[in-house]
Structure 1
Amino acid sequence: MVFCSLFIIISIIQSCDDGGVELYTLDVRNIDYNNIVLSEMADDVTYTSLANDSPIEIYYDTKVFKDHIIINGRINGISIYDRKGHFIRQVGSKGRGPGEYYFCTNIAVDYEGKRVYVRDSHDIKVYNLDGNFIRSFDIIQHAGQHIGDSRGYENFFSDIVYFKPHLFVATYISGGRAYNDWVVIDTFGNLVSEKLNYIPGFGSYRGWGGVTYEYKDKIYYHNHYNDTLFSVSRDLSYGPSMILDFGVTIPETKEWEQEDNRKRFLSDINEMFETDRYWIMLCSREQQDYEEMYVIVDKETEKSYLMYDREPSESNYGPIYTGGIFNDLDGGVPFQPEGRYEENGREYMLELVSPFTLKSHIASDDFKNAVPKYPEKKEKLIELANSLDEMDNLILVSVRLK
C-alpha cells in the first residue's frame, strides 16, 4: 500500500477582488510524507449491489438522493435505481432520434422538481424522473461549440449543475481559447448571467480542463490556467474562495507547455469535491504517462495526503490492490473517493466497485490477514462477495464521515 502526504503550505494572501478577504493558498509543489486510513475519516462503510437490469460498465458520475441512485454511463445512458439497488428505469435512451441523447457525459438533476438535464453535443435535453422526454433547447448561442466572438474565441460546454432555479454551465479553456468561464441559463435556455474569461488567447495542445462542484449552497469553479477557485452564490455573485497553486503559467508555445507539464509533479486537477472537513482532488501526473493521484486536505489540521489511484498488481494468488485509502473498517477494497452526498444530517463519500475487484480482493492474503476495526463487518463482506458473480453489476460503496 503506497501512501504519502502532500504537505500543502497554507499561506494568507489579500484578495483585491473580495474586499481584502483572506484566502488560503494551497501550494502543491512541496512534498512531505504522512498516511491516512479510512477509520480516521469515517466510522461506517456500507455496500449496495446494483441490479443487473442495466449494466453500468463505464460511468461518468453517481448521484445519491433520498430514494434514488442516478448513474450516467457511457453505454446504457442514464439509469435510476432505488436505494436498495433495485433497477427502476432508464432516463430516455441513447441514440440520434427525436428525444434521444448521443452524449450524457454531464447531467444535472433537479430532484425536487423531478427533472434530469442532459448536456448533449449542442443542446440540453430535459427528462422527468419517470424517464420521459419533455423538451430540449439549443444553447449554442450562449456557450456552444463553433461560436466565436469578436476575438475569435469559442466556448465549449463541459459540466452542468442544477443551481435552483437555474442551470450553471461551465466552459473551460480549450486549445488556449474561451470566451466565458461559465454561463448561467434558465431551464428553457435563456441567458441569465455570465462570467467572461479574461485570459488572452494563446497556443495550447490541451483540451478543456477544469472542475466544477456544488457544496453548501454554492458552486465552485476552477480552470487549469487560473489558480483561483471561485465560489458562486445563489444570487449569482461570485468571488475567489481559494488559491490552488500548481505552478501553471500561460505557455509560450505548445511544445513548451508539454515540457513544462512533464516537469511538474502534479500537472492538473481532474476532479474535485469537498466535505465539511476535507478537500478531495484527483490530480494527473503527465511525467508518469497521465498517472492519477488523489490529494486529500484536512481543513482543520491543514495536513494533507497524497495517494495513488487504486491499481491491481498480479501475484501468484490473483490481483493485489494498491493505492486508494486503506480500508481498516472492514478490510475491504482500498477506497478511492468519487463523490459526496448527505443523508439525515450526515455526510458520505462514495465510489462504485466491480464485483470482480471485490471478489479478487476478498481472496487475497491481504484481506485474509487483515484485522479490521469491525470484524463482524469483515464477515458480512465475505458473504456479500460470495453471493455475487464477477460479471454482476457494480456495487455502490458508501463511507459515512465522522
Structure 2
Amino acid sequence: MKKMLFWLIAVVALTGCGSKNSTDKLPVLDLTNPNFASDRVEISDEIKSIEYVPLELTDESLIAEILDLAVSDDYVFIYSTRQDGILQFDRKGHFVRSVAKTGNGPGETAQIVSLSVDDENRLLCVSEFFSTSFYSFDGEFIKKVNTLRPYLWQYCIGPNTMAEMGRESIPMDTPGIFSLGVFNLATDDTIAIRQTVGNMDLLPLKETLLGEWNFNGGTGGMLCYSAGIDTVWELGMDGIHPAFRIDFGFSADEQKMVRSEPGAIVDGKYWISRFFETPRRYIVKCFEADNQSRFHLFSLDKETGAVCHEKSSIDAMELFKHNRILTGIGIHNETDGGLPVWPYYSYPGKKLMVQLNTAVEIEYLKEKYPELKQHPVLQKITEDSNPLVTIYHLR
C-alpha cells in the first residue's frame, strides 16, 4: 500500500509495530547490581580475524575529522570535514574517488547527515535532511528521493529500505513528529513506525521529548536508544521491536526529568556513550554522569544473562582531544595484540565490526601502551597519517 500523507501515518501504521517480545521478557543489562560475573569484558572468543585498512593520504584524500563512514564488501566511504563530498577507498585503503560533491546541481549535496550502503544493489546512500541521494559504487549518480519526514538520522538496513530516527528535543505531539521508522524508498511504503518510545504513563506527549540518539548496527538491522528510556529498540525489515533493556536504577521522577529537559543530568548514574552487538553479546560503553572522564564497559551475554563490568583506566577527556568517538576506551585485543576493540559500527548480521582510530589517537595509545609499538601495522602509523579503519571478522 502506498504511503499516506505523513500526518496520518502515526495513527494508522502503529498497528504494524507490535513487539516480538514483551519488555518484561527482554534480556536486561543491570548497571545497578554490584555482583557482576566478571570484572573484565571479553570479546576475543568472537573474533575470527582482523583486517586493517590504512587510508591512503593524498592531497585529495586528506582527512580531518571524520563525521561518518560506511563499509561495503569492496569499499570504505568516508565523510570528513575539510573535504568536498564523500571519499571512496578500496578495502586495501587506496583512494579511488570523491562522490556527492557540494553544490546545487544533479548529484550534488548541501548538508549531509549520514551515509550508508545498500550492498545488494551496490549503492552508496547519502542522506540529507528531507532527501536521500544514491550513487553506484562506480561513482555514478543514480537518483535523489525527496521526503517530508522530519528525521534526524537515516541508515540503509536492506535493499531500498531505510531505518530512520526522529528529531531530538521536539515535543512528541508536534504534527508529523515520530521517534522511529522503517521505510522502503523504492515503493514509497511505510514498513513500520512508532510515534514515541518509552513509558507513556510518565508524561503526556506535549511534554515528552526525544533525548539524544544512540545507535549501531543490529542483527536484524539497526539498534537505537534515546536518552531517558530503558529499552534499546531494533529496526529491521520486519518492523520495530524491543531488543534489550538497560536498568539504570532511575526513579520515575528522574525519567520524567530526562525526557522533558534536553541535556538533563541525573547525578550518580551511568549514561550511554555507545553500544554494539555481536552474535553472542550486547556490549555497552557508559560514562558517569557526575564525572565524564570516567568510563565503564558492560557486556550482557544473550544466552546466560551474565553481566560483566570493567572500568577504563584511560582519562576520557584526555583521549577526546585525539578522537571524539573515544575508540581508545575499548576492550582488550587478545587476538593480535592490536588496538583496544571498540567498533564505530557493528554489522552482526554480516559478522563484521568496523573500528576507526585517528593517527594522533594511535600515537597516544602507543605511548600509553608501549607494547602497541611492536604491532606491524601500528608501527607504520605516524601522527601525520590518515585514520586507520579496522574490520573485525566475527565467528
Q: Normalising to structure 1: TM-score of the pair?
A: 0.72
**Cα deviation, residue 23, structure 1:** 2.1
**Cα deviation, residue 337, structure 1:** 2.7
- 2:183 paired residue number: 185
Going from structure 1 to structure 2, the CA distance change for 1:393 and 1:225 (only over 3 Å counts) comes to: same
- 1:261 paired residue number: 265
Correspondence 1:268-347 to 2 at 5 A = 269-289=272-292, 293-301=296-304, 302-308=306-312, 311=315, 323-341=329-347, 347=351
- 1:85 paired residue number: 93
Correspondence 1:109-148 to 2 at 5 A = 109-140=117-148, 143-144=149-150
Going from structure 1 to structure 2, the CA distance change for 1:44 and 1:312 (only over 3 Å counts) comes to: farther
Question: Contact 1:51/1:393 (CA < 8 Å) preserved in 2?
Answer: yes
> How many residue pairs were aligned?
352
Correspondence 1:154-233 to 2 at 5 A = 156-171=151-166, 173-177=168-172, 179-187=177-185, 190-193=188-191, 194-197=193-196, 199=200, 200-201=204-205, 203=207, 208-233=211-236
Q: What residue identity is the alignment partner of 1:34?
A: D
Question: Contact 1:227/1:245 (CA < 8 Å) preserved in 2?
Answer: yes
For 1:174 and 1:49, the matched residues in 2 are separated by 38
1:55 aligns with one of 59, 62, 80 = 62
1:350 aligns with one of 349, 354, 360 = 354
5+ long unaligned stretches in structure 1: 1-15, 145-155, 315-320, 371-377
For 1:173 and 1:309, the matched residues in 2 are separated by 32
**Cα deviation, residue 120, structure 1:** 1.1
For 2:21 and 2:336, the matched residues in 1 are separated by 48
**Cα deviation, residue 279, structure 1:** 0.9
For 1:218 and 1:46, the matched residues in 2 are separated by 23
2:387 aligns with one of 386, 394, 399 = 394
**Cα deviation, residue 47, structure 1:** 2.5
Correspondence 1:363-378 to 2 at 5 A = 364=367, 366-368=369-371
Correspondence 1:16-27 to 2 at 5 A = 18=20, 22-27=25-30
Over residues 219-240 of structure 1, what are the superposed CA-to-partner deviations in whole Å (9 max), with x where a residue is unaligned? 433333432333344343x433
Q: Normalising to structure 2: TM-score of the pair?
A: 0.73
Going from structure 1 to structure 2, the CA distance change for 1:359 and 1:350 (only over 3 Å counts) comes to: same
Over residues 207-265 of structure 1, what are the superposed CA-to-partner deviations in whole Å (9 max), with x where a residue is unaligned? 742334443344433333432333344343x4333222334547656899589723142
SS in 1 for 2:53: strand
For 1:133 and 1:233, the matched residues in 2 are separated by 27
**Cα deviation, residue 391, structure 1:** 0.8
5+ long unaligned stretches in structure 2: 1-17, 319-326
Question: Contact 1:70/1:79 (CA < 8 Å) preserved in 2?
Answer: yes
1:242 correspondence with 2:248: no
For 1:225 and 1:272, the matched residues in 2 are separated by 16
Q: What residue identity is the alignment partner of 1:174?
A: S
1:72 aligns with one of 65, 71, 79 = 79
- CA-atom RMSD in angstroms: 3.8
Identity percentage of aligned residues: 21
Going from structure 1 to structure 2, the CA distance change for 1:203 and 1:55 (only over 3 Å counts) comes to: farther
**Cα deviation, residue 274, structure 1:** 0.7
Over residues 316-369 of structure 1, what are the superposed CA-to-partner deviations in whole Å (9 max), with x where a residue is unaligned? xxxxx97422334444333323223479x8x3433122333334544x48424x
Q: What residue identity is the alignment partner of 1:195?
A: R
